[in-house]
Amino acid sequence: MKMTWGLCLLCLAGGLRAVHAGPVRKTGKMADKAVPQEEVNVLMFGVIQFSESLNYIYETTEAKIAKISQTLRSHEGTLQRLGRQTEQAAEVEKQIKEVIQLLQAQMAKQQAQTKTTKDWLASMEQEVVELKTKVKKLEMYLNTNISIKELQERAKEQSNILQGLQHLTQLQKENVESQNEQLSKLQTMSETMT
């Protein structure tokens, strides 16, 4: 751009000199006299000042455009990073939803198992009560109809059965408590994730 303005100034200066250096007609009138050198110098100074102003405007505009381009590139990079972060956040959210669904399914399964175990324990307890009632009836029958030795053997047998049932009942209760603890932990994890 500087070179273009320099060429324009040279052409203008050359043209002014050619006008100044050309033959002057002598008509005897004041209006036909050549332009004084001083006016040419002033005109040249004005043209130079004008070209320098245009050059300064061009340079500052070019610098501003470069700065704007750099800012735009920086914003494009930021937008791309934000886009990637948004995609990653969506993927994480999807994974969290999948984990929550899995936990809910596991909790539903645990609750069903716990209910089944509780029902089975209630049934077992009922059977133990019924068995105790039968043992008492049997004891009453034995007291009246069977010898002491037979009574002792049957009592021992019934006692072993009762101990086995009590042990089994205790194991089932521990199993239910363990499942309840696991269910509670899963519910806590689900609540913290949501």
pTM higher than the cut 0.85: no
In tens, the pLDDT along 73-114 reads 888 888 888 888 989 988 988 898 888 888 888 888 888 888
DSSP, residue by residue, 70-93: HHHHHHHHHHHHHHHHHHHHHHHH
Classify residue 27: in a domain, yes or no: no
How confident is the model over 45-54, as pLDDT tens digits? 888 888 888 8
Number of domains in the chain: 1
Report residue 30's pLDDT band, with 50, 70 and 90 as the boundaries: very low
Residue 54 structural domain: 2-22+32-193
Residue 162 confidence (pLDDT): 84
Answer yes or no: is 50 within a domain: yes
Asked if residue 163 lies in contact with residue 179, where contact means CB atoms within 8 angstroms, the answer is no
Among the listed residues 185, 194, 171, the one whose alpha carbon sits nearest the alpha carbon of residue 106: 185
**Residue 181 domain-assigned?**
yes
**Is 151 within a domain?**
yes
Q: What tokens were used for 105? A: 């399914």
Q: Is residue 147 part of a domain?
A: yes
